Chain A
């Protein structure tokens, strides 16, 4: 929560983003008057009959009914973690567990936001914490600014190339290891 999901979708989308917002019932977590609930939707058009559809869904557990849809339908996920939160590493680990299948097919990139305000933990600390629980996972973890189109495009491209390379080499790579 407060990681910049709506902002990130806006940075990437070529269409006007459809956003639904409602009252923030967790002002103790993030002090802003509204927070995204339900859904943000944006698109990147590749051709007349092909587009990348991007859905922003909230991280609060009370919305986990939406995660179930994502788990079965999504090809990949950019997980935005607010580094200014109380325990961002624990938050990441909880999501990795929830989206375990997506992670193991190479479909997750972790974007650590607000690191300019909260430089700790570092991406290395995120990675080491993840390796302790899932030593076989190699997840791209970056600091990024969700407002930056350039950085969000980098995250999206990384997600896609990682998925494709996992599809190409994944099984052979596992056997090789």
Chain B
């Protein structure tokens, strides 16, 4: 890519630099910036100690030798090289590669370590308009529960955490991932939902069926 195509350096800036100190925040911010402009871009990301990560946004695909399930805790010495793909230019790598959604899910859930991603604003509420394909994402049942909450109303991360009985850090992580995946509606104006203290409104019946089945299945 560096030899045959015009390269440039992408240097994302973020208002929440503290949340990006593991390096993955930088990477995630850069990817989100490109997704926002919806341009036919090619991106190469180099992280020290790893083979380069290539993304071809035209095809919503990436390749990386590193297993996403073994994402290093820190990304050090990160560099970016980006360019716009010429019309009709061949794919950056042999397709199909991997679905970019896989990378977005992992980065969104890990990059900001329990803080709101820098492109999201405090005061916003979020509502799911499309479920992520949980069949392809490693996930916890708490996340499923939060998704079900988000599918039924607008919630701030703090409200979401209360409604699903989850730590607020996990709510932030999930919101970040869903935002990266473009699966959220965002509103600053909508009024808050009244959140019952027991998520399923079944205080009088004891644990919800979900909780009982989850326990029964050991999940």
Contact: A165 with B152, CB < 8 Å? yes
Q: Which one of B133, B135, B190, B194 has the greatest number of beta carbons of chain A within 10 Å?
A: B135
Tell me the minimal C-beta distance from A175 to chain B in angstroms: 9
Chain-A contact segment, one of B20-28, B48-56, B71-79, B207-215: B207-215
List, in ascending order, chain A residues with CB within 8 A of B216's CB: 44-46
Tell me the minimal C-beta distance from A163 to chain B in angstroms: 8
Contact: B144 with A161, CB < 8 Å? yes
Given contacts A151-B135, A167-B201, A172-B194, contact A138 B210 (CB under 8 A): no
Say yes or no for B193: interface residue by CB 8 A criterion: yes
Tell me the minimal C-beta distance from B179 to chain A in angstroms: 16
CA distance A104 to B153 in the complex (A): 14
Given contacts A169-B163, A170-B152, A176-B191, contact A160 B213 (CB under 8 A): yes
List, in ascending order, chain B residues with CB within 8 A of A167's CB: 200-201
Say yes or no for B196: interface residue by CB 8 A criterion: yes
CA distance A139 to B147 in the complex (A): 11
Q: Which one of A119, A170, A172 has the greatest number of beta carbons of chain B within 10 Å?
A: A172
Say yes or no for A94: interface residue by CB 8 A criterion: no
Contact: B209 with A160, CB < 8 Å? yes
Contact: B148 with A173, CB < 8 Å? no
For the complex, would chain B's binding face be called helix, strand, loop or mixed by DSSP majority? loop
A164: contacting residue among B96, B210, B217, CB under 8 A: B210
For the complex, would chain A's binding face be called helix, strand, loop or mixed by DSSP majority? helix
Tell me the minimal C-beta distance from B33 to chain A in angstroms: 22
Contact: B219 with A153, CB < 8 Å? yes
Name the interface size band of chain B.
Answer: 35 or more
Chain-A contact segment, one of B62-70, B105-113, B122-130, B167-175: B122-130
Given contacts A157-B141, A169-B153, A176-B191, contact A131 B130 (CB under 8 A): yes
List, in ascending order, chain B residues with CB within 8 A of A45's CB: 216
Q: List 16 A-B contacts (CB under 8 A).
A: A45-B216, A138-B128, A140-B131, A141-B133, A142-B135, A153-B219, A157-B210, A158-B134, A158-B147, A161-B148, A165-B151, A165-B200, A172-B193, A172-B194, A173-B154, A176-B153
The 9 closest A-B pairs by CB, nearest first: A173-B153, A142-B135, A143-B135, A165-B148, A169-B152, A138-B151, A173-B152, A123-B133, A164-B200
Q: Which B residues are within 8 Å of any A CB, using their own CB?
A: 96, 127-131, 133-136, 141, 144-145, 147-149, 151-154, 163, 190-191, 193-194, 196, 199-202, 208-210, 212-214, 216-217, 219
